[in-house]
Chains A and B, each alone.
Chain A
């Protein structure tokens, strides 16, 4: 492996999580229907936000807990908390 760009899934495969059964992110997808820009899709470093058909879908499992989505969301549609009690991403080399 050298000078070829890797896919996000493969990059994220190197991280470790202890996923909480309760999502620490909730999204009011009704609000997203009125959002033209959807900066969460490009700016979430973990690609947690994607479009499926014409609806914004999200997954909290691969979140790296930077908090970017809640800051960039123009409609305050994203409710983001820290995963509870030791859950979520576990950084070792960062």
Chain B
């Protein structure tokens, strides 16, 4: 690292969405920023499901829509319950541009380029291995035998928090805290996107699936349409997967892709890439005891900022926005005279006032709800039998209410269970 000056205003660990957003903000405000990325280039280690909500990104990058690698705007939102070879779906067709599909590898590269154009130094091929400390104060980073100093460090290293662990600020991850996401990106025929998915030019679909997708394990499947490919994968809560997954995880993705009701979407498809990633799940237990220390801020997945609602995920926008707020906090701390924990505490305040903490607090019970196995087993089955009743009427029709109760009973649930589960879902989702 001979070409690097020996001191920066700020060092950012990781050129992912959080790291690059913070570097971009700080660079535009004139701070001397260094971003260290362990991959060969920004984006090369990034993995996500497939969809990003756009509003926070437009706030961070005012010209976002003009040049960002947006594949398709999500115009169709589909939610399916899978029971054996039956599929019950809700399909919504919207009219707005609220979220888009992309490859995170491309989006992260774009964000890093924005930061670089604004004046940040991005250095790839460097794995940060620890924090440089003076007493309790963080004064820089270590990468193997080398070190670089800075007034403040932003840890945006991602969900595998090896740096924070090595510093003793967080414990090693536990299976109950994370979910495993596994995905294939497959090349599909353009006709499949037009005819099977029913998408016009630039239109995209976000599709979540629950039930037999994960063999009833807590979690679900996802399908996102990219420009000329489709991302398909699934998410499983890791602790349930340890005890409940009887097959290798990749098989669940293959099974989903070749499911009798889904295989038409993947006709003549060809795998382009296979990836996997851990997903913050139990946010309250994952969040480090503090997000601001003397000379240190924590953002993105490393801070546990991700919302998994079962039917949708928000990670990239949370990460980017938390990085952006880390940048703002540093700017304000600078105005107050330095990067002390007291001055940097404004980061926590900014987060609390933002949609990130508001959402995470609002949905803090979701993690508990995901432990209700019936949501992944009995309810998809019930939805299927409910629709089957309507579908296969021969002579006599039943009243809807009786059909619902009948379907519930078939799946081992009485009216009381339906009522309490209903209340739980209303409370937490």
Contact = CB atoms under 8 A, between A and B. Distances in A.
B45 A92 contact: no
A68 to B, nearest CB: 5
A43 B43 CA distance: 24
Interface residues of B, number: 59
B273 A70 contact: no
Interface string A19-57: 000000000000000000101011111110000000000
B138 interface: no
Contact of A94 (B38, B46, B174, B246): B46
B238 A86 contact: no
B274 interface: yes
Nearest to A66: B276
Contacts of A6: 254, 271
Given A71-B175, A91-B45, A8 B248 contact: yes
A63 to B, nearest CB: 10
Nearest to B187: A93
A67 B278 contact: yes
Interface stretch (B59-67, B123-131, B373-381, B401-409): B123-131
Interface of B: 38-40, 43-48, 103-105, 124-127, 144, 159-160, 162, 172-175, 178, 180, 182-185, 229, 238, 241-242, 245-251, 254-255, 257-258, 263, 266-278
16 contacts: A5-B254, A15-B275, A41-B248, A45-B250, A65-B45, A66-B276, A66-B277, A68-B180, A71-B173, A71-B178, A72-B238, A72-B242, A86-B40, A94-B46, A94-B48, A94-B183
Given A43-B242, A45-B276, A86-B125, 18 more contacts: A1-B269, A5-B257, A5-B258, A6-B254, A11-B274, A12-B274, A37-B242, A42-B246, A45-B249, A45-B274, A82-B160, A85-B125, A86-B40, A90-B44, A91-B46, A92-B103, A93-B272, A94-B46
